Amino acid sequence: MELNKRKIDILKAIIHSYIEEGEAIGSRTLSKKYDLGVSSATIRNEMSDLEDLGYLIKPHTSAGRVPSDKAYRLYVDNILIDKNKSKYYKQIKKILQEDINEMEMFLRNSSRILAQLTKYTSLIIAPQFKKSKLKHVQLVPVSGRKVLIVMIMQNNIVKNVLLNLKTPIPENQLNKISNLLNEKLTGLRLDMIDLSMKNRIKKEIYSIRNQYDQKIDELMKVLISSLNEYDKIDVYSDGLNNMLNFPEYNDTEKIREFLSFVEDKDNIVKLLLKNTGEDLDITIGHENIFDEISKCSLITATYKFNGITVGKLGVIGPTRMDYKTAIPIVKALSNNINEIIEKNFKDQIKE
């Protein structure tokens, strides 16, 4: 038994109906709602076949049928034609245009827009520094025993670490160390600074320490450990309450499950960073690695800086998600973010 055109048409109609209504549909209602050119009896037979093939599921004996994860997969991979992308691209571009200076605010806005346009819950991961190159390191003397390390990444994201030293280090000494660090570390990716390099830098710093002895030792210890510390990942999310519009979440227990899953940033990070290969990735229902969202689908896209993927964004919603609008919206936002990052967070000067 093969999947002929008529079967696909019927399946498509069922999927569209279910995405729209959220309720199982039977042969008769389907034949009235969509002009499929055959009677409800024929549809009935085809639906029975589609069930045997694993594309449809009966919630119970006389309730009509519902698309399976396999059906959505087929739909997304082979049936769906992705249009409107440029429409959304322009729309998003217009909204995002206004003053994009600070990465945090920019991502927060993007997240809000994504949730508003799709009506699902949006998720965005801030750029990962380890994947981006270091442009400038500066040790700023704050006062006595406090030193601020300012790291400026190639994408002009700035990160600070405040060090508490047991004993003060004079400013000129700090500048020397600053210069040395710059010389050695500029252009490197944070995750490429390995142990041997750290040891080399340490030795060189020791060579300028002369009168400051173990004080520099202490600085180095904190500094090196803080270089490793950059796996904190910021997550932005919006539109949690959008999920409550769906009848699949009319049960408090379901809401709680979803909410406590999404509230835990670790989950989101794991979810979004699961695969970094594809520019666009869709996981449907049980394909998800977490049981808590086995009735959800996730559409994610990457965003890049200098050709390297530095972050991800996406939407999560029920498996009966409106893929045909959500996918182009995610794509369009991802394209916009790519461009804005390249333009606004990159130096005009070639480096």
Partner DNA sequence: CTTAGCACTCATCAATAAAGAGTGCTAATA
Partner DNA sequence: TATTAGCACTCTTTATTGATGAGTGCTAAG
E-strand stretches of the chain: 56-57, 66-67, 121-125, 134-143, 146-153, 158-164, 235-238, 280-284, 296-305, 308-318
Among 47, 137, 205, 216, binds DNA (CB under 7 A): 47
- Select 80 or 152, whichever has its Cβ closest to its own copies: 152
Q: Which of 254, 230, 262 is nearest to 111 (CA)?
A: 262
Give the chain's radius of gyration (CA, Å): 27
Exposed, middle or buried, 346 (CB in 10 Å: 0-12/13-18/19+)? middle
Instruction: From the list DNA, its own copies, none, pick the one residue 57 interacts with, judged by a Cβ distance below 5 to 8 Å according to partner type.
Output: none
Which range binds DNA by CB under 7 A, 40-48, 197-205, 206-214, 280-288?
40-48
Q: Which residue has the tokens 């970094």?
A: 276
Among 62, 172, 207, 252, binds its own copies (CB under 8 A): 252
Among 58, 93, 108, 304, binds DNA (CB under 7 A): 58
Structure tokens given for 333:
């936002």
- Select 138 or 276, whichever has its Cβ closest to its own copies: 138
Task: Work out whether 29 is an interface residue with DNA (CB under 7 A).
Answer: yes
Task: Work out whether 63 is an interface residue with DNA (CB under 7 A).
Answer: yes
- Select 204 or 257, whichever has its Cβ closest to its own copies: 257
Task: Work out whether 135 is an interface residue with its own copies (CB under 8 A).
Answer: yes
Taking the alpha carbons of 217, 218, 221, 225 in that order, is the dihedral positive or negative? negative
- Select 10 or 268, whichever has its Cβ closest to its own copies: 268
Q: Which of 348, 317, 315, 340 is nearest to 89 (CA)?
A: 340
Among 11, 15, 19, 25, binds DNA (CB under 7 A): 25
Helices 103-118 & 85-96 angle (0-180, nearest 10): 140
| Per-position DSSP letters for 217-281, written without gaps between them | HHHHHHHHHHHTTTT---EEEE-GGGGGGSGGG-SHHHHHHHHHHHH-HHHHHHHHHS--S-SEE
Among 8, 57, 255, 273, binds its own copies (CB under 8 A): 255
Q: Which of 238, 215, 230, 18 is nearest to 113 (CA)?
A: 238
Instruction: From the list its own copies, DNA, none, pick the one residue 148 interacts with, judged by a Cβ distance below 5 to 8 Å according to partner type.
Output: its own copies
| Spatial strand order in the sheet of 235-238 | 235-238, 121-125, 308-318, 296-305, 280-284
- Select 18 or 258, whichever has its Cβ closest to its own copies: 258
CA distances from 111 to 96, 116, 315 (A): 11, 9, 9
Stretch 64-83: interaction string toward DNA, x if CB under 7 A: xx------------------
Structure tokens given for 14:
């069922």
* Shortest Å distance, C-beta 160 to its own copies: 4
Which range binds DNA by CB under 7 A, 25-33, 182-190, 258-266, 324-332?
25-33
Instruction: From the list its own copies, DNA, none, pick the one residue 255 interacts with, judged by a Cβ distance below 5 to 8 Å according to partner type.
Output: its own copies
- Select 65 or 73, whichever has its Cβ closest to DNA: 65
- CA neighbours within 13 Å on the CB side: how many for 199? 3
Stretch 7-36: interaction string toward its own copies, x if CB under 8 A: ------------------------------
* Shortest Å distance, C-beta 113 to DNA: 36
Chain residues binding its own copies by CB under 8 A are 101-102, 105, 135-136, 138, 140, 142-146, 148, 150, 152, 156, 158, 160-162, 164, 232, 238-241, 244, 249-250, 252, 255-256, 259-260, 263, 344, 347-349, 351
> Under the rule (CB under 7 A), what is the footprint of DNA?
24-29, 38-42, 44-45, 47-48, 51, 58, 60-65
